[in-house]
Each structure stands twice: as structure tokens, then as C-alpha cells.
Amino acid sequence: MTYCVGLLLDAGIVLLSDTRTNAGLDNISTYRKMFLFEEPGDRAIAIMTAGSLSVTQTTLARLQDAIDDPDAGPEKSIMHCQTMLDVAQLVGDTLARTTQEISQKMTAMSQTASASLIVAGQRKGGEMRMFLVYKEGNFIEATADTPFLQIGEHKYGKPILDRVIEPGTSLVEAQKAALLSMDSTLRSNLSVGMPLDLTVIERDRMAVSVSRRIEPDDETFHKMSLAWSEALRDAFGKIEI
Amino acid sequence: MTYCVGLLLDAGIVLLSDTRTNAGLDNISTYRKMFLFEEPGDRAIAIMTAGSLSVTQTTLARLQDAIDDPDAGPEKSIMHCQTMLDVAQLVGDTLARTTQEISQKMTAMSQTASASLIVAGQRKGGEMRMFLVYKEGNFIEATADTPFLQIGEHKYGKPILDRVIEPGTSLVEAQKAALLSMDSTLRSNLSVGMPLDLTVIERDRMAVSVSRRIEPDDETFHKMSLAWSEALRDAFGKIEI
């Protein structure tokens, strides 16, 4: 399984993904689920993936092929799209086509394959936007009322986000919330695993400000995780019933 | 949907269930999901239900019919079973039979109906035991390594339990943890709703010590919920990144 979370705030975008992939229960691997596409000053786009690895890898490979193709225009390459909405549309179309092709092969074997994506970023002259793209290629968008989107194992880490995230949350606080939301998920579900990929895209920079891999032995994350456990138990101890 | 949680501790058993039931998205009702069967000094048994209301109601009605039947022996009435294991077996068989019958009707309409149960309690001369009974009638049991069982929307409320519940947890702390676990679920998922039913069965009492309905306007619960939100935000503020 997977857990990816994206926060769309006044100050920018914060994205966090895990890297655990499994084919069955006993075939566990590490695969990147965070992909960045950047032309500083013009656009910064991040895509996070959840679902069948064959679907997400082929989708991303097709998007990358189009970017590398010098003849590809805005209808093919996300680096040439005019707006983030066009990017979401193009990514959705590519995902839907890939899902359909792979599903046809799978159906013959009575199996299914599907994936969902979070697409976030900003294009020069446009607003920051964040979309959750479904396997059918359609998508929903984060708004001030719902400033975060999640894919994969989203339930364990939702309560903390419900409580602390609002559009005015600072980027530092938002990174903390994303990491603690991930920490709860890691603890409660073994199918989500380290290392993690953290990305921050500040408003109107049209560039990736932070792109960091957090390894399993990362001391800061480990300390934060312990401090959070202690703080939770402390808080728990103080509640009167 | 539903959220029910049961904690099996050295000091006793704590059980908490919500009451929201929905047929489709717009037909929402309140139904009890906590059922108590008690002969003080001899046995105290609690059953919590999740899943299709037609399945859980029929299953409980059949169990109750057998209890009311003066001719029913230990192979039919949970009030005559020798051990909690026999109770779990009888409840499982009743659930499986009911599920099969209702499923046959549903399959003709290309629909499905299923349910799962938590069965917990103590019989004189035996240990306290708690079981999660699956729709097929088979079951798993809570142990010292896994002292809590959940049915329904279990993910939102699991992180807090993972952090604070161990066999040595006191009954008061355990009630608090169950209520906070429910509070997180209520906040993050609208399909789980008040009022709540709380039950405590103390060790070796073979009787229900606490059986309380917590109404939506319950001031203690409301205060606890607010205090927990504040404590979480405080704790969050203190974490360094």
C-alpha cells in the first residue's frame, strides 16, 4: 500500500509520500512515488502516485517521454501546458488510457489494476493548484474548505490533519503535520513504509524549495516521532473523564 | 457505517459502539449496536455489531429466541453455553447461517449483505475473553499482544489505541482511550454518529459494571472532546521539526 498527502496552503504546497510497494504480501520493495517536474521561474509540478505499480510507472514514463520529445506541444507535454488545469487534464487522460490498456490484459486473468494520483503545482501567471486524479482520469481539486488531499491508506493520518490544517497554516507547521500524519500511518499499518519523500513548493516561486528524502535512520524524524508519542501520552494523561 | 471497539485488559473489558445506520447515503437512522446478556455471578456477555442491519438484527433475534426458549440447551442458548469459546462458536454459527440465507436473497438482486461481530465476556470459572466473529462464522481472539479488537470504520481511531493501550491499562484510562478513539472517528467520518453505548465488565464480577448511553448533548463527552482537541493542538505546537 501507499500513503501520500498533499497540503495546499496560502504560503505554498507541501507534499509527502512513502515508498513501500508490495506485490502480494511477501514481495516488498522500495519505489519512489513522488515525481517533480520543474522549470524554475516558469512552473513547478509534483505528481504523487498510489496503486498498481505497472499503471503508475507506465503513466509516468509516458508523461516523461512526451517531455523529452522536442516536437511535443501543450497537448502532450506537461512542461508545455498553459495552466495547471491543463496539466491535470493531460495527466488524467494519460492515466485513464494506461489504466484501460493494462486492465484489458488483467481482465483476461480476472484481475484488476488501477491507480490514483495527486498533481500539484503552479504555472507562471496562474494560481497554485492541487488535484486528486482518479483512475478514470477525472479529478477533484483542493480548496480553502478542503485544503488537503490524500491517496492510499488515508484514514489513520486524517484525524491530525482535520484538527490542525487550515489555509493559513505555515509551511513549517504544515510539514510537521504531514510528517505526524505519516507517522501515525506508519505505526498503524505495516504496508506503508520508510523512506519518505518530502517536497515543498513555495507560492509564486515556480520552483521546488525543498525536496528531501527522509531515510529510515533519519534522526530528526525519529526524534519527532518519539516526541509526538510522548506528547500524545502526556495529553492523554491530562484528559479528565 | 459503524465503529465499535473492545478492549480486553487485566482489570476487565471495555466496549464502545456508535449507533448510526444508513441505507444508502440519505436514509440515516439510529440503531443500538451493543447487546448485553447477563446472569450476575454466572456470566456477562456483550455483543457489538457492524454490517448489514438485516443480518445483525436477525442474528441477534435468533440468539434472543433461543435464550427465551425454555427447552434450549447449551447448543442453542448463549446463556447455557459452558464457556466463552462455546458462546463465540454459537454466535459465529448463527451469524454464518443468517448471512448465507440473506445473501441468497440478495445475490438474486446482485447485491450482498454481511456483518461482523465482537463477542466479549466472562463465564463463571473461566477467563474473560473477547472475539471478533467474521461473516463466515470463524473468529479471532484478543490476546495480551493485541488487547483490542475493532469492527467497522476502524482506521481513524487506531493510532491512539496503538499508542496507549496495553493489558495493564486501568479501566478508567481504557474508557478514556475508547472514547477518544471514537471521537477521532466521529470527526473524520460522518457515517459514524452519536449517541454512543459504553459497557464495562469488570474481571471476575460476571456482571455488567457500567452500561451507559452517551447522548449527543452529553456534557462530559463534549468537554473531553474539546479538551482532547486542545491538548492535541498544544502537543502539536510543542513538537520541533
Asked if pLDDT for residue A110 goes beyond 90, the answer is no
Yes or no: say if A1 and A20 are a contact pair by the CB < 8 Å rule.
yes
* CB nearest B239 (choices: A162, A189, A227): A227
Contacts of B198 (CB under 8 A, 6+ apart): B14, B15, B16, B175, B178, B179, B210, B211, B212, B213, B214
Residue B126 distance to chain A (closest CA, Å): 31
Backbone angles phi, psi at B224, to 5 degrees: -65, -40
Number of C-beta neighbours around residue B22 at 10 A:
15
Asked if pLDDT for residue A219 goes beyond 90, the answer is yes
Residue A38 pairs with which residues in a beta bridge? Answer: A44
Cβ distance of A236 and B164 shorter than 8 Å: yes
Cβ distance of B224 and A239 shorter than 8 Å: yes
Residues of A in contact with B146 (CB under 8 A): none
Cβ distance of A235 and B220 shorter than 8 Å: no
The C-alpha cell that represents B7 in the structure block: 478492549
Residues of B in contact with A232 (CB under 8 A): 160, 163-164, 232, 235
Task: Give start and end residues of each alpha helix (H) in B13-52.
Answer: none
Residues of A in contact with B156 (CB under 8 A): 155-156, 158-159
Q: What is the pLDDT of residues A65-83, one digit of tens each?
A: 999 999 999 999 999 999 9
| CATH node for B3-238 | 3.60.20.10
* CB nearest A184 (choices: B159, B176, B241): B159
CA closest to B183 among chain A residues: A159
Cα–Cα separations (whole angstroms), residue A191 to A90, A118, A185, A186, B69: 30, 20, 9, 8, 48
- What mean pLDDT do residues A40-59 have? 96
ipTM: 0.81
Please give the pLDDT value at position A107. 81
Task: List, as one string, the DSSP characters of A121-169.
Answer: EEETTS-EEEEEE-TTS-EEE--SSS-EEEEES-STTHHHHHHH--TT-
Residue pairs between chains A and B whose CB atoms are closer than 8 Å: 101
Identity of the amino acid at A230 = E
Cβ distance of B241 and A175 shorter than 8 Å: yes
Please give the pLDDT value at position B83. 97
* CB nearest A163 (choices: B173, B179, B229): B229
Residues of B in contact with A200 (CB under 8 A): none
Q: What are the domain boundaries of chain A? A: 3-238
Phi/psi-derived region of residue B41, left when phi > 0, alpha when psi is between -120 and 50, beta in every other case: left
The Cα–Cα gap between A37 and A79 comes to: 8
Q: What is the pLDDT of residues A137-172, one digit of tens each?
A: 999 999 999 999 999 999 999 999 999 999 999 999
Asked if pLDDT for residue A24 goes beyond 80, the answer is no
Residue B75 distance to chain A (closest CA, Å): 39
Yes or no: say if A48 and A34 are a contact pair by the CB < 8 Å rule.
yes
From first CA to last CA, the distance across chain A in angstroms is 37
Please give the pLDDT value at position B26. 78
Yes or no: say if A184 and B181 are a contact pair by the CB < 8 Å rule.
no
Of all helices (H) and strands (E), which one includes residue B96?
helix B84-107
Residue A219 three-state SS: helix
Who wins on pLDDT, B93 or B21?
B93
Residues of B in contact with A159 (CB under 8 A): 156, 159, 184, 187-188
Task: Name the pLDDT band for B107 (thresholds 50, 70, 90).
Answer: confident
Please give the pLDDT value at position B104. 87
Q: What is the pLDDT of residues B141-152, one digit of tens each?
A: 999 999 999 999
Task: Name the pLDDT band for A190 (thresholds 50, 70, 90).
Answer: confident
Residues of A in contact with B173 (CB under 8 A): 236
Cα–Cα separations (whole angstroms), residue B34 to B2, B14, B185, B198: 11, 12, 18, 8
Rounded to 10 degrees, what is the CA torsion of B131, A193, A4, A24? -70
Residues of B in contact with A163 (CB under 8 A): 187, 229, 232-233, 236
Residues of A in contact with B184 (CB under 8 A): 159
Please give the pLDDT value at position A241. 79
pLDDT > 70: what percent of chain A?
A: 100
Task: Name the pLDDT band for B153 (thresholds 50, 70, 90).
Answer: very high
The Cα–Cα gap between B117 and B114 comes to: 10
Cβ distance of A164 and B227 shorter than 8 Å: no
The Cα–Cα gap between B170 and B62 comes to: 35
Residue A186 distance to chain B (closest CA, Å): 10
Residue A33 distance to chain B (closest CA, Å): 23
Contacts of A127 (CB under 8 A, 6+ apart): A84
Residue B172 distance to chain A (closest CA, Å): 8
Please give the pLDDT value at position A109. 77
Residue A222 distance to chain B (closest CA, Å): 10
- What mean pLDDT do residues A190-211 have? 96
Residue B167 three-state SS: coil
Who wins on pLDDT, B25 or B64?
B64
Cβ distance of A236 and B176 shorter than 8 Å: yes
Asked if pLDDT for residue B110 goes beyond 80, the answer is no
- Residue of A131, A152, A171 whose CA lies nearest to A46: A131
